[in-house]
Chain A
């Protein structure tokens, strides 16, 4: 079924598959944890029950997403060793400590306070509970900090030496490693993406319920909050994305060439290729629709600036253009739509029609999943654009893999695909089910809150058995 020569390709597909699935969940929990912290803070400050209802509503959704993030994340911490043993051995002394710090500063913090956040509302008092929510939110951010530092180091490695065993080791302290050149840009761009993704989901859920009842107070509040977020953050993201692109041009020009579809060099002003069919075999763009010189203007801020193409890169060092070219366009296209949604919401708000225009609500519903798609597309752009290297320019993907037989990698890939689609497919269904119910006054606690003899005992856990049964899957 599988040949040995395919082992590396299969290992790449497996890693790409498991990490793409995993990435969806933190992209949501980073934003949602912060949103929950904001809701609880507003509740503590104003005392309005509305905020507490929204908190409990989104907390139940958070619990499901977080569980999926945890189990898919444990897989990731072992995928490095199972599939990329040589990479783990050689890059371990650099990236291992950063990931160990992620576990020590972030994972434990999230997990340690999650129980209290989910089930402890009546046990520890309001302020301590808010502290637990805050710790979970801070934990999600710290986690993003470390893992993006690792990823950025693989993209733009600095501060390393190579020891006699061929391992990358720290050369002069950890600051140049952690704060490598692409890290600040990637961190800001990714965290904003997570906030935007969450805002779009919250906005879509609010809009969905407003379409059914435009007077629903809870739906109004979350829709309004989400649209503020989209209107304020989407433009910032466009700016940050541009800065990130310029940073990539400086450190990984071949990736930008692939993103732009520039197979050929343009000595006096490069066009912006809007669409086309990349042909890697012929190394040219077929049926290109392009705007002359706009590429140079965007990347060099000068209409006539020369731009090098992939023809200046050795053939064995070129990334595959088709994936990078298309995923980049998906990300940018969705970003433009997010910007439009934000602007439309501002116009509606200014006219006093935020909750009335059905087309705006429908637009917001449609944009609900767009953050996830954009995040995955952007991730694929940057990761495939790093090819054919794992550590950019220094270590090739082909020499990074474990000494594994293709059947082993193939069989485990099939297992991951089947299990992930089944389990996370069901999870998504449960999420949609939770979201399809509008938040109510006196929103109930999570159904599985354990009641304990010690302390105050909420008798709410029976809710799982007595709640009205919704649509079955």
Chain B
């Protein structure tokens, strides 16, 4: 019933969807996290307008991640969603507040201050909870039979708080880099200052999470340092060092796009590292891809659609970004 090639293909597609979500909603949420660091008025308006046409599409990758997990790996979906119940619902409520703020803050000037708080607060909660969920999953989930067997506070540990904070500062860095790329003048100067704060924090967070993960148990240590995976692991510190050097240089030379691309590269590298920690498990030590896989008939049916539709989606998403290319102007002045 279960086909391993199909199963691995779907694991790849879902990993791609989650990665797309992390980088695309990452800079959106990051802008929310630091939103209140920008002065009220045209700078905030510019920051928000730089993502207004694309945030909805960015968030759709999250729906694909959730829906796709249910479709391709229903057992993992049901166990993980139960295990992460509280942070997941907190994240969803955070996304409610920040999502409606895109429209609501324009509807009544007297309410704008409130929706600005909702936007940044909602973004912060969503980012923090996503990081906490990542940590909670990495540290392992108690499974009994085909169901979650733990308590509803199990997710809360020092490690999950560390991953939560890491995602917040990582998203902050992405958001600052995006604004550096998409804005000019004072807003860009503010973004550059924030990049200088978030970049070292992100690096520290990455180091802390990387140092802590192998000692969580769950065979992470063995997986990182066994052949052939060690061939990747061993390169990581060097690659990070090179990326950091390029990042500092691009910051000094006031490049617009390079810091964003370099940050994406760091995210990509971290994501591959996560894959190495997890594979072939979806829930560490208890549920493998194969165990959770939907029957081949379900996965094949979806694969037909996904192989046509995902490239199409990427094409029109790229078109939409291209339509809104260039710097977001300070409105109304020129």
Residues in A lying within 8 Å of B, measured CB to CB: 63-64, 66-68, 70-75, 77-78, 80-82, 85-86, 88-94, 96-97, 99-105, 107-116, 118-120, 123-124, 163, 165, 167, 169-170, 174, 402-405, 407-408, 412, 415-416, 419-420, 423, 426-427, 430, 433-434, 446-455, 457, 459-462, 464-466, 469-470, 472-473
Minimum CB–CB distance from A232 to chain B (whole Å) comes to 32
Would A403 and B148 be within 8 Å (CB), given that A75-B96, A96-B294, A452-B327 are in contact?
yes
Contacts A85-B148, A103-B68, A170-B297; is A120 near B53 (CB within 8 Å)?
A: yes
A450→B49 contact, CB < 8 A: yes
Tell me if B37 counts as interface (CB < 8 A to partner A). Answer: no
Q: B314-327 vs A: 1/0 string, CB under 8 Å?
A: 00110110011111
Closest to B147 in A: A403
Check A423 against B96 for contact (C-beta < 8 Å): yes
- Report whether B70 and A96 are in contact in the complex, using a CB–CB cutoff of 8 Å: yes
Tell whether, in the assembled complex, residue B149 and residue A116 are in contact, meaning their CB atoms are under 8 Å apart. no
Contact indicator A452/B325 (Cβ below 8 Å): yes
Which B residues from 52 to 91 make CB contacts under 8 A with A? 52-54, 56-57, 59-60, 62-64, 66-68, 70-72, 74-75, 77-82, 85-86, 88-89
Asked if residues B100 and A68 are in contact (CB atoms below 8 Å), the reply is: yes
In the complex the two chains form, is A459's CB within 8 Å of B81's CB? no
B199 interface hit (Cβ, 8 Å): no
CA distance A343 to B80 in the complex (A): 54
> Which chain B residues lie closer than 8 Å to A403 at the CB level?
82, 147-149
| Nearest CB of B to A144, in Å | 16
Query: Given contacts A85-B148, A115-B323, is CB(A470)–CB(B316) below 8 Å?
Result: no
Q: Is the CB of B104 within 8 A of A101?
A: no
Q: Is B267 an interface residue (CB 8 A)?
A: no
**Contacts A68-B100, A77-B63; is A105 near B309 (CB within 8 Å)?**
yes
Determine if B134 is an interface residue (Cβ-Cβ < 8 Å). no
Residues of B within 8 A of A67 (CB): 56, 99-100, 102-104
A114 (CB) vs chain B CBs: closest residue = B56
Q: What A residues does B59 contact at CB under 8 A?
A: 70, 74, 111
What are the residues of chain B within 8 A of A408 when measuring CB–CB? 85-86, 152
| B108-116, B168-176, B223-231 - the one binding chain A | B108-116
Interchain CB contact under 8 A, A112 and B45 = no
Q: How many residues of B contact A (CB 8 A)?
A: 82
Q: CB distance A93 to B74 under 8 Å?
A: yes
When each residue 290-320 of chain B gets 1 if its CB lies under 8 Å from chain A and 0 otherwise, what string results?
0000110110011001100110010011011
List 9 tightest A-B contacts by C-beta distance, closest first.
A92-B74, A81-B81, A454-B326, A96-B71, A115-B53, A462-B332, A450-B49, A461-B331, A85-B78
Contact A89 B106 (CB under 8 A): no
Contacts of A464 in B (CB 8 A): 45, 106, 109
Whether B124 sits at the interface, judged by CB under 8 Å, is no
Which chain A residue has the least Cβ–Cβ distance from B48? A448
Q: Is the CB of B53 within 8 A of A169?
A: no
Q: Is residue B328 within 8 Å, beta carbon to beta carbon, of the partner chain?
A: yes
Give the distance to chain A from B159, nearest Cβ to Cβ, in Å.
22
Q: Is the CB of A416 within 8 A of B49?
A: no
If over half of B's interface residues share one DSSP class (helix, strand or loop), that class is named, otherwise mixed; here it is helix
Could you tell me the distance in whole angstroms from the C-beta of A51 to the nearest C-beta in chain B? 23
- Tell me whether B334 is interfacial, beta carbon within 8 Å: yes
Residues of B within 8 A of A169 (CB): 1, 294-295, 297-298
Which B residues are CB-close (under 8 A) to A89? Answer: 74-75, 77-79, 146-147
Q: Do A115 and B99 touch across chains, with their CB atoms under 8 A apart?
A: no
Chain B residues, CB < 8 A from A80: 70, 77, 81
B11 at the interface (CB under 8 A from A): no
Docked pose: A100 CA to B14 CA in angstroms: 11
Cross-chain contact B317 with A430 (CB below 8 angstroms): no
A334 nearest CB across to chain B (Å): 28
B110 contacts across to A, CB distance below 8 A = 469, 472-473
With A115-B323, A452-B324 known to touch, is A97 a contact of B63 (CB < 8 Å)? no
A415 and B67 contact, Cβ closer than 8 Å, known pairs A94-B298, A453-B327, A453-B329:
no
Contact status B57-A100, CB under 8 Å: no
Q: How far is the CA of A430 from the CA of B106 in the complex (A)?
A: 10
A-B contact pairs, 28 of them (CB 8 A): A63-B103, A64-B104, A74-B63, A81-B70, A85-B81, A85-B82, A92-B294, A97-B298, A99-B70, A102-B67, A103-B63, A104-B313, A107-B64, A108-B60, A111-B60, A112-B317, A120-B324, A167-B74, A169-B298, A412-B89, A419-B97, A420-B96, A430-B103, A451-B49, A452-B326, A455-B325, A459-B332, A466-B332
Q: Is the CB of A103 within 8 A of B152?
A: no
Q: Let me know if B95 is at the binding interface, CB within 8 A.
A: yes
**Does B49 lie within 8 Å of A448, measured CB to CB?**
yes
Q: How far is the CA of A167 from the CA of B77 in the complex (A)?
A: 14
Nearest A-chain residue to B91, judged by Cβ: A78
Residues from chain A with Cβ under 8 Å of B7 in the complex? none
Candidates B70, B96, B334; contact of A92 at CB < 8 Å? B70
A314 to B168, CA, bound (A): 54
CB nearest neighbor in A for B118: A423
A107–B310 Cα gap in the complex (Å)? 12
Query: When chains A and B are docked, how far (Å) is the Cα of A230 from the Cα of B85?
Result: 44
Taken together as a complex, chains A and B put the C-alpha atoms of A165 and B305 apart, in Å, by 26
Assuming the contacts A74-B95, A92-B70, A451-B331, asked whether A82 and B45 have C-beta atoms less than 8 A apart, the reply is no
Which of chain B's residues has its CB closest to A464's CB? B106
Q: Are A404 and B104 in contact (CB under 8 A)?
A: no
Closest to B302 in A: A97
B-chain residues with CB within 8 Å of residue A434 when the two chains form the complex: 107
Residues of A within 8 A of B313 (CB): 104, 108, 112
Q: What residues of chain A lie closer than 8 Å to B309, measured between beta carbons?
A: 104-105, 108
Asked if residues A112 and B320 are in contact (CB atoms below 8 Å), the reply is yes
Cα–Cα, bound, A102→B298 (Å): 15
State in angstroms the CA–CA spacing of A107 and B301 once bound together.
Answer: 19
Q: Does B197 contact A (CB under 8 A)?
A: no
- Inter-subunit contact A112/B57 (CB<8 Å): yes
